[in-house]
A and B are shown apart, each in its own frame.
Chain A
Amino acid sequence: MALKESIAIHVNGDLRHVTVGLTLAEMLHELGLDARRVAIERNLEIVPRGTFSEVLVEEGDRLEIVHFVGGG
Chain B
Amino acid sequence: MTAQQDIKADNWTVAGRTFTSRLIVGTGKYKSLQENAAAVEASGAEIVTVAVRRVNISDPSQPRLTDFIDPNKVTYLPNTAGCFTAEEAIRTLRLAREAGGWNLVKLEVLGEAKTLYPDMRETLRATEVLVKEGFEPMVYCVDDPIATKQLEDAGAVAIMPLGAPIGSGLGIQNRVTIRLIVEGASVPVLVDAGVGTASDAAQAMELGCDGVLMNTAIAESKDPVLMARAMKAAVEAGRLAYLAGRMQKRRYADPSSPLAGLI
Q: Which residues from chain A sit less than 8 Å from chain B, CB to CB?
A: 11-14, 31-33, 37-41, 44, 46-49, 64-72
Contacts and interface: CB of A to CB of B under 8 A. Distances in A.
B60 A39 contact: no
Given A37-B64, A66-B99, A72-B216, 5 more contacts: A12-B55, A31-B60, A46-B95, A68-B52, A71-B215
A45 B161 CA distance: 32
B224 interface: no
B50 A70 contact: yes
Given A12-B54, A31-B57, A69 B98 contact: no
B61 interface: yes
Contact of B98 (A12, A44, A46, A70): A46
A38 B60 CA distance: 11
A68 B76 contact: yes
A49 B98 CA distance: 7
B55 A72 contact: no
Contact of B215 (A37, A48, A65, A72): A72
A68 B216 contact: no
B27 interface: yes
B26 interface: yes
A39 B219 CA distance: 27
B57 A11 contact: yes
Contacts of B219: 72
A70 B64 CA distance: 9
B28 A67 contact: no
Nearest to A48: B98
Interface string B166-194: 11000000000000000000000000000
